[in-house]
Structure 1
Amino acid sequence: MTVSLAASLIDLALGFELAAIGKAAGNRFALEGVTCKPGQDGAIEVRVQKLEATALRLAFGPLVLDIGRIALHELVARIRTDAGAARLAAVEAREAEFSGWKLQGPLSLPSQIRKVWDASQKPAEPAADAWRLDPFGQAEGTVRAQITDAHLLFDADVTVPIRHGEIDFNDATVEHVGPDSRMGISRLGLYVDAPNGRSYLYQFASAPLAGVEFERRGALLSPWVSERGKLQLQVFAESTLRQGRESLDPGLTAQARLLLGRTALSGEVRLGDGVLAMPGVQVHLEGRDGGANVLALHADSVGRGLTAEIASFAARDAVASWQGAQFGFDALAAALALQLLREGPSMRFVLDLGSGKVTKPRFASR
């Protein structure tokens, strides 16, 4: 039986909880300069010079959002009455300041939110260009891994450079005692050629068609590899995401899963300017020349978790649409960090937003 969107939203609202972040810190709301008057088209216009809230905790089942502080300046809300029922038609603020935001929960969507999502989906397929990852097409940086006590293969220091949004496996190095190994990419997947033979770290369910230049052998059926292959990050990732959820199933081999527990990772990747988009959401990253949007990666053990941080995240012209509602802002500047943590068989995430500022945040509904 199909569950209606209205019923799903009611179930979600009934599971909503509001509290303070901790027992020692009570939540607090403050309003300054509140006015109310009739607006255009019979709407009621509410203006608030400043709205501030601190130490809030919002929970939707296993999803928990902690809000250290948020302050909205020059807030304007428009309320309409349709068929005797009041509804929020639009909200806009000149500026929003925030700090100490933390969203955490399981990496998979809770059942309440998944019901709302499923009930809201339309049968039409998303546009072919719904996924855009322009900043990865200009990415520059280096990712390093240290594999220790890896008795399955070797102890090794791995270095993978990223230049102009591309990984050229001819430049990747795998250094260890004895003859060094080489990384590459074939139609079967991502591999390491070690002194004791080839081992696959990641296997493709089917050979990808976009963004990959596979290894090439020497002339006359030579067994020697002359080119290790290349991977264009933007094209490969967009193509994979457009293929749907099935293409995202991890293809890590059993050997690679064991190695991840013994692998420390670090790296820094500078993203380019440009559009990031997924179905229903679009935002434009900016500020590369000023040092913004540099992604720092760190993990003591990749098998147990990974941290990705951007000390200076800068974006503009964001738009998100869902079921006739539209959210957006003109500009955003903040520090953010994302942790992926393994807890037994499941994965959790923790998203931290440090001090930041949003210019002209807004919401509108039809």
Structure 2
Amino acid sequence: MTVPLAASLIDLVLGLELGPSDKSASNRCAVEGVTWHPGQAGAIDVRIRKLEATALRLASGALMLEIGRIALHELAGQVRVEAGVPRLSALAAAEAEFSGVKLQGPLSMSPQLQQVWDGLPGPGRAAAPAEVTARQAAADAWCLGPLGEADGTIRGKITDAHLLFDADVTVPIRHGQIDFNDATVEHVGPDSRMGVSRLGLYVDAPNGRSYLYQFTSAPIAGVEFERRGALLSPWVSERGKLELQPFAQSMLRQGRGGQGQGLTEQARLLLGRTALSGEVQLGDGRFAVPGLQVQMEGRSEGRNAVGLRSEAVGRGLAVEMASLAARNAVAKWKGAQLACDEIAAGLKLQLFVDGRQVHFALELEHGKVAAPRLDLSGPGHV
């Protein structure tokens, strides 16, 4: 049967604003096999054989979620009545199928999370113990295990680069490592070389060394710095290496905005003139960021291969995964927790840069989720 109260159901579950994704067609929700009976501690247990929704649009502030179709099979939920208002506290299904899912909005943080990221205690005061603990927890949340065995090649085309001329850049990735001895920067005249020193990532061009990214004075994990020849030789014998997983985790855990750290002005200029392409096969392993963790798997079957495309990196980037495969995913947001046993889907992520603001659009196609579970009993939902 078609349920006219689909908006109330979605509002009850997610607390979001609901509307049709296509204004020419209303959002629809169909429910089959509904039963309910009293549960423990005054709760009501609800079971639904199948729930299917199409053409949905859900908004939360600047974030917009559009769903072309989603179907939940063997759905079980628990509703509690608090102060005369029914509230859903838990929801689980045997399987979910979806297509045409798109989440978009600005890529930004709340002021509180920004302070934790940047390591700031807030204006005019020292960090409280609870803030230090939260900051450490946020830092420890980063884990980029799939980078540990990544293989692939990143290629860049720099057009009319001031110091490098027009240049073709090739950076191989082997077993999760970038060896700058194998990276090439080809252009008219003598070629340039890339490398990593204690000051940062650099390019040695015919007219001298230029730094693309500058490090802080703190030690950087996963870096083998350049080495020079015997005695005080000015010649570089080894250009250095990056172990992608520990290096990326270290940079993320240190946060942003450290004194003397970041992209140089020259690098920002180059990014606006750099086209990028690449293919990287990720490894298996744990991927975790604040609020989300998942176990990536399927490398042996070619799953989780990433394609990178950009006409100008300074203006945006597209990331595609034709076959995302993962298990034991857990996401937390505003006191709610969403988990599942397995997930498989096609994924596309686009980043758009507009001045200092970055917007994103995440698309999921032809996806299946095993044993999805939603828990709304945490703080903010009770």
> Which of 338, 343, 368 in structure 2 is aligned with 1:357?
368
Shift of 1:130: 2.6
Q: Identify if the C-alpha distance between structure 1 residues 274 and 218 changes in structure 2 by more than 3 Å, giving closer, same or farther.
A: same
Structure 1 counterpart of 2:20: 20
Q: Please, which moves more after superposition, 184-193 or 236-245? A: 236-245
Matches within 5 A, 1:162-311: 162-246=173-257, 251-311=262-322
Structure-1 separation of matches of 2:113 and 2:142: 22
Rounded Cα–Cα distance in structure 1 between residues aligned with 2:316 and 2:29: 36
Does the aligned pair in 1 maintain the 2:164–2:192 contact within 8 Å?
A: no
Aligned to 1:155: 166
Q: Is the 8 A contact 2:164 2:187 kept in 1?
A: no
Indicate how the Cα distance of structure 1 residues 29 and 248 shifts in structure 2: closer, same or farther if over 3 A, else same. Answer: farther
Q: 1:325 to 1:25 in 2, by over 3 A?
A: closer
Q: Which amino acid aligns with 1:134?
A: G
Matches within 5 A, 1:55-70: 55-70=55-70
Letter in 2 for 1:182: R
Task: Compare 145-154 and 231-240 and name the one that shifted more.
Answer: 145-154
| Paired position in structure 2 for 1:7 | none
* C-alpha distance in structure 1 between counterparts of 2:187 and 2:153, whole Å: 19
Deviates more, 1:76-85 or 1:191-200: 76-85
Alpha-carbon displacement from aligned partner over 1:202-252 (angstroms, at most 9, x marks no partner): 112335431111111111010000110111111011122222344599711
Which amino acid in 1 is paired with 2:163? L
Deviation at 1:20, TM superposition (A): 1.0
Assess if the C-alpha contact under 8 Å between 1:215 and 1:225 holds in 2: yes
Contact 1:191 1:198 in 2 (8 A): yes
Alpha-carbon displacement from aligned partner over 1:336-360 (angstroms, at most 9, x marks no partner): 1111112244221111111101000
How far does the alpha carbon of each residue in 1:84-105 deviate from its partner, in whole angstroms, 9 at most, with x for none?
6543231100001001111111
TM value normalised by structure 1: 0.88
Query: Residues of 2 paired with 1:221 and 1:266: CA distance?
Result: 39
- SS, match of residue 29 in structure 2: strand
Could you tell me how far apart the structure 2 residues matched to 1:319 and 1:110 are? 21
CA distance in 1, matches of 2:73, 2:232: 69
Shift of 1:151: 3.3
Secondary structure in structure 2 of the residue aligned to 1:241: helix
Deviation for aligned residue 1:280:
4.2
The answer as to whether partners of 1:213 and 1:231 remain within 8 angstroms in 2 is yes
Equivalent pair of 2:163/2:207 in contact (CA under 8 Å) = no
**What secondary structure is seen at the aligned counterpart in 1 of 2:263?**
coil
Residues 241 and 247 of structure 1 are in contact (CA less than 8 Å); yes or no, is this contact kept in structure 2? no
Label 1:18 to 1:89 Cα distance change in 2 as closer, same or farther (>3 A).
closer
Deviations 1:311-365 (A, max 9, x none): 1000101123467643210000001111111224422111111110100000222
Q: For residues 75 and 83 of structure 1, do their structure 2 counterparts lie closer, same or farther at Cα, with a shift above 3 Å needed?
A: same
Q: Which residue of 1 aligns with 2:157?
A: 146
Q: 1:313 aligns with which of 320, 324, 329?
A: 324
Q: Distance in 2 between matches of 1:250 and 1:349?
A: 25
Q: Which letter does structure 2 place at the counterpart of 1:176?
A: H
Pair 1:339 & 2:333 matched:
no
Q: Which residue of 1 aligns with 2:51?
A: 51
Cα offset, 1:197, TM superposition: 0.9
Kindly provide the CA deviation profile for residues 40-78 of structure 1, in whole angstroms up to 9, marking residues without a partner as x.
444211011111111111122321111111111110001
For the residues of structure 1 that align with 2:334 and 2:23, how far apart are their CA atoms? 37
Instruction: Show the counterpart of 2:124.
Output: none
| Aligned equivalents of 1:281, 1:151: Cα separation in 2 | 41
Q: Which runs of 5+ in 1 are unaligned?
A: 1-11, 115-121
3-state SS in 2 of match to 1:205: coil
C-alpha spacing 1:329/1:247, structure 2 compared with 1 (3 Å): farther
Tell me whether 1:29 sits opposite 2:40 in the alignment.
no
For the 8 Å contact 1:62–1:110, the answer to whether it is kept is no
Superposition TM-score, scaled by structure 2 size:
0.84
C-alpha distance in structure 1 between counterparts of 2:57 and 2:336, whole Å: 24
1:249-280 CA distance string (max 9 Å, x none): 97111111111121110001111101112344
Report the secondary structure of 2:262's partner residue.
Answer: coil
1:134 maps onto 2:145 in alignment:
yes
Deviates more, 1:324-333 or 1:134-143: 324-333
Residues 157-207 of structure 1 deviation map (CA, whole Å, 9 limit, x = unaligned): 100001111111011011111111100011111111011111111112335
| Structure 1 Cα separation of the partners of residues 111 and 48 of structure 2 | 36
